[in-house]
DNA sequence: GCTTTTTGTTGACGCGCGTAAAAAAATATT
DNA sequence: AATATTTTTTTACGCGCGTCAACAAAAAGC
C-alpha cells in the first residue's frame, strides 16, 4: 500500500486585469480597447493584416487586459483551423519522440497548433486517432503510419478529407507526399563497409516486420550482397510487437545458443534490434567489436539516440532526423498553401551517413 | 541532395451515406432520424441518459448516416469539456512515454479526450503549453512539471483555473494532489543492499539536477548511509540538460580518468545516468558487474525500459509505472467529479522494488 | 486642395450546438 | 381507467467569433 500524506492545499488568486474584471469575449475587449470587433478579428487571424498603428494600439490594450480569443469559437467558424495533426506509430521509441519534437517546434514557429498522437503500435488505435483527428478539422496532418499494421482503407479515407503528408513509413499512393530515408543507399553503404573490413554480414531482422522500412532494408541487403558477389544470409527472429530490444534479445540469445549465426558479422535491421542483440551477446559471453579479440561484429541502422551509449558503442547509419522533420513540415506547408492537394505525389528520400563506432 | 520521385496521387472517394448526401449538423440528423435535436444532444453527452428504445433508434440511424457532432461547437457551449491535458517534461525519455501511454489509454476508456504535451525540458515551453492548455478549458490536467526549471508562479496560476494533479515531480503546495515514488524507501533499500553485498556505494548525480526527485534521492542516500554508519560519498557531475546519458558518460569518463571515484560501487541517481556511466566504464576498460573479476558495481534507479538491455544488465529499483499512472488518473477523476477542488492535498508515494541484475 | 486608395467601423447574420421552459407524448402506478 | 411519473418535443435563446456589405475615416497620390 502506497504512502499517503495530506496537507491543506494552497489557493492562489492569480493576477487579474487592471480593473480587476476579467474580459470574457472579443466584444468586451473591443469596448475597452476602442477597436472595433471585426478589426480585432482580423488582427487575431493575422496581426500583419491591420495597419501598423492600430496593431500597436491593439497590442498595448492586450498587455493591459490580457484577453485571449476563445479557440473553440474561432475554429468553429474558420474555413480552416490552425491545427496540425502529428501521428507517430510508437512514441516510446526515442526516434519518434525526437522527430515529433522537431516537428512540433517548427509548427509552433509557423503559427500553427500541433497536436501529437501516438498509435502505440496498435491498428485500432491508429484508426481511432485518425477518426478523432478528423473532428479537429486540421489544416494538415503529418502521419508516420504503423505500416504493415495500418488499415489502408482507413488511412486512404482519412487522406481524402485532410491534407496529409506521410513520413518514415510509406503506404503506396496514399497521402500527398512521402518523406523518408533512402534504405538502398544506406544499407548498401553499410554492407560495402562491412564486407570491405571483415567477414560479409548476415542480416538480422524480424520475420514479420511491423514496418515497410524493414522490408526495404531486407531487399536492399540482398541486392547489396549480390552486387558484391556474396551470398545473402538472413537471420529472421520471431516477434511482431514494437518491443524491438526484447525481440532482438530473445532471438539473438536463441541463434547464439544454437550457434546458428551464419556469419560473425551481423547487420541488424535497426538499432533497437541491435541493442537487444548486444545484450544477448553479452549474456552469452561473446565479445563484440571490430578488434582482434572480438567474436562478433554488430551493426545497426538509424543512429538511435541510445546507440552511442551501448557497450561497445554501436556502429550504425545515421538518419538525418532534423532533415526529415524539416522537409516534412515544409512539404505540408506548401500543400496547405496550395489548397491541400498536390498535383504529383512527391517521394523524398534522404541518404544516411555511416557512423563508425566500436561495434563493427 | 535527397532523392526525389514523383507519381500521380491516388484520389479515393470514401464511402458516403445511403442517400449520398453528407449530414452537416445535428439539425439535419434530427430530421432524417426522426429524433428531436435536444434529445440527440442529450444522447451525445451521455448515451445512457435517454430511454433504451430511443437510444437504439439513434444508434441505428447513426449507422446509416454516419454523423458526428462538431467537437468545437460542443466544447464551446459545454460547462465543461471532455479534454484532459497531459503534460510531461521530456517525452524522448521512455519513462514518460510509457507513463503517458498508460494515462492516455485510461482517459480514453473513461470517455475523455486526452491531449499530450511535452515541455522538451524547457521552461518557456512549459509555460506556453500551460497557456495553450488553458484555452482548451480542460476538465482536468495531469502535470509532470519540469521541476527545478518550472516557473512556480505560472504553474500556480494555471492550477487556479484548471483542476490539476501533479505526478512524478512535486512542487510544494501546487496542484490538488501529487503522485510519485517513495525515494527514501527505494534509495534506502538499494543502499542497504549494496552495503550488504560489497563496498558501500558512492552516489553519482548531477551537480545541478533538473528534477526534485534527484534532490530527494540525494538526501535519502545521505541519510541511508549515515543510518548504516557509513560516510556518504558524493560524485557530482556537470550538466543541466535532459540528456542524462551524455552527462553520465562525460562525467563518468572524467572521474574514471582522474581515478577520483571514492568507491568501486556507484549508485546513480537514475538509470539514464547509469547508462552513460556504463558506457564510460566500458570505454575506459573497466569491467562492470558483481562478479569477482569486476572493477566496478553500478546501480541505477527507475527500472527504465532500457535498463534490462545494457551490458551488463542494470541492477536498479523499479518504479511501478502502471500504478503511478492508474492512481494519477483515478485521483484526477475524483477531483473532477468533486468539482475540481480537493479539500486536502493528498500526496501518494509508491514504494520501489529491487531489481537485481548483473551490474551490481 | 482634391481625388483615389487603403483601412476601419457599423450592423447584421451565420456557424453548430448547449440548455432551459413549457407543452405533449409515452410509460408506470394505483 | 384515471392519475402520477418519466421522457420527448417544441420553441427559443445564447455561446464567441467569422464574415460580409455598406459606409466612414484616414492615408496616399497628384
Bases in strand D with any atom closer than 7 Å to a protein CB: 7-12, 14-21, 27
User: Is the CB of residue A76 inside 7 Å of nucleic acid strand D?
Assistant: yes
Please, are residues B32 and B60 in contact by the beta-carbon 8 Å criterion? no
**Which secondary structure element, helix H or strand E, spans residue A166, and what is its range?**
strand A164-167
The footprint of strand C (CB < 7 Å) covers A 34-39, 42, 50-51, 53-55, 76-77; B 24-27, 37-38, 40-41, 44-45, 51, 53, 69-70, 73-74, 76-79
pLDDT of the residue at A21: 65
User: Is the CB of residue B36 inside 7 Å of nucleic acid strand D?
Assistant: yes
pLDDT of the residue at A64: 87
Rounded to an integer, what distance in angstroms lies between the CA atom of residue B338 and that of residue B234? 45
pLDDT of the residue at B171: 92
pLDDT of the residue at A17: 46
3-state DSSP assignment of residue A204 = strand
pLDDT of the residue at B10: 63
pLDDT of the residue at B13: 53
Please, are residues B275 and B232 in contact by the beta-carbon 8 Å criterion? no
| Residue in B with minimal Cα distance to A277 | B309
CA distance A332 to chain B (A): 15
Give me the A residues in range 5-44 that sit within 7 A (CB) of strand D. 24-27, 37-38, 40-41, 44
pLDDT digits 0-9 by tens, B225-248: 999 999 999 999 998 889 999 999
> pLDDT confidence of B17, banded at 50, 70, 90?
very low
Burial of B151 (0-12, 13-18, 19+ CB in 10 A): middle
Q: How far is CA B167 from the centre of its chain?
A: 8
Q: How far is CA B327 from the centre of its chain?
A: 13
A46 phi and psi angles, rounded to 5 deg: -170, 95
- B344 to chain A: which residues are within 8 Å by CB? 6-9
- A161 to chain B: which residues are within 8 Å by CB? 14
Residue numbers in chain A where pLDDT is lower than 70: 1, 9-21
User: Which residues, in sequence order, are bridge partners of residue B177?
Assistant: B165, B346
pLDDT of the residue at B340: 76
Q: Percent of chain B, pLDDT > 90? A: 78
Neighbours of A9 (CB within 10 A): 18
Does B124 score more than 50 pLDDT?
A: yes
Rounded to an integer, what distance in angstroms lies between the CA atom of residue B85 and that of residue B137? 9
CA of A23 to C1' of D19 (A): 23
A residues 44-103 lying closer than 8 A (beta carbon) to B? 68, 70-73, 75-76, 91-92, 94, 97-98, 100-101
| pLDDT mean over B22-41 | 91
CB contact under 8 A, B118 and A118: no
CA distance B97 to chain A (A): 5
Neighbours of A108 (CB within 10 A): 15
Neighbours of A8 (CB within 10 A): 10
pLDDT of the residue at A247: 96
Q: Kindly report the pTM of this predicted structure.
A: 0.91
pLDDT of the residue at B211: 86
Nucleotide nearest to B57 (CA to C1'): D8
Amino acid at each position: 500500500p502506497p504512502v499517503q500524506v495530506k496537507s491543506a492545499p494552497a489557493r492562489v488568486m492569480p493576477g487579474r486585469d487592471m480593473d480587476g474584471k476579467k474580459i470574457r469575449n472579443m466584444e468586451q475587449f473591443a469596448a475597452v480597447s476602442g477597436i472595433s470587433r471585426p478589426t480585432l478579428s482580423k488582427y487575431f487571424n493575422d496581426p500583419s493584416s491591420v495597419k501598423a498603428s492600430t496593431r500597436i494600439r491593439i497590442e498595448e490594450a492586450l498587455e493591459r487586459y490580457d484577453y485571449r480569443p476563445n479557440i473553440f469559437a474561432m475554429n468553429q467558424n474558420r474555413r480552416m483551423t490552425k491545427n496540425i495533426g502529428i501521428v507517430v506509430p510508437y512514441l516510446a521509441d526515442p526516434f519518434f519522440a525526437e522527430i515529433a519534437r522537431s516537428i512540433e517546434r517548427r509548427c509552433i514557429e509557423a503559427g500553427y497548433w500541433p497536436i501529437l498522437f501516438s498509435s502505440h503500435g496498435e491498428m485500432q488505435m491508429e484508426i481511432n486517432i485518425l477518426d478523432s483527428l478528423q473532428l479537429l478539422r486540421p489544416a494538415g496532418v503529418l502521419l508516420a503510419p504503423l505500416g504493415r499494421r495500418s488499415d489502408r482503407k482507413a488511412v486512404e479515407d482519412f487522406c481524402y478529407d485532410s491534407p496529409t503528408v506521410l513520413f518514415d513509413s510509406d503506404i503506396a499512393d496514399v497521402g500527398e507526399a512521402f518523406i523518408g530515408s533512402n534504405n538502398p543507399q544506406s544499407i548498401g553503404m553499410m554492407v560495402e563497409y562491412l564486407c570491405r573490413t571483415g567477414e560479409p554480414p548476415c542480416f538480422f531482422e524480424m520475420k514479420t516486420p511491423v514496418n515497410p522500412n524493414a522490408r526495404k532494408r531486407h531487399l536492399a541487403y540482398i541486392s547489396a550482397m549480390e552486387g558484391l558477389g556474396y551470398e545473402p544470409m538472413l537471420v529472421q527472429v520471431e516477434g511482431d510487437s514494437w518491443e524491438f530490444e526484447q525481440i532482438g534479445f530473445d532471438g539473438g540469445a536463441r541463434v547464439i545458443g544454437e550457434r546458428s549465426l551464419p556469419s560473425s558479422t551481423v547487420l541488424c535491421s535497426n538499432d533497437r534490434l541491435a541493442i537487444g542483440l548486444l545484450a544477448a551477446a553479452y549474456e552469452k559471453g561473446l565479445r563484440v567489436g571490430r578488434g582482434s579479440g572480438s567474436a562478433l561484429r554488430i551493426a545497426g541502422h538509424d543512429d538511435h539516440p541510445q546507440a552511442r551509449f551501448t557497450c561497445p558503442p554501436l556502429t550504425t547509419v545515421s538518419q538525418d532526423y532534423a532533415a526529415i522533420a524539416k522537409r516534412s513540415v515544409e512539404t505540408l506547408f506548401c500543400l496547405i498553401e496550395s489548397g491541400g492537394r498536390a498535383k504529383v505525389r512527391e517521394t523524398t528520400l534522404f541518404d544516411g551517413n555511416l557512423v563508425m563506432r566500436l561495434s563493427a
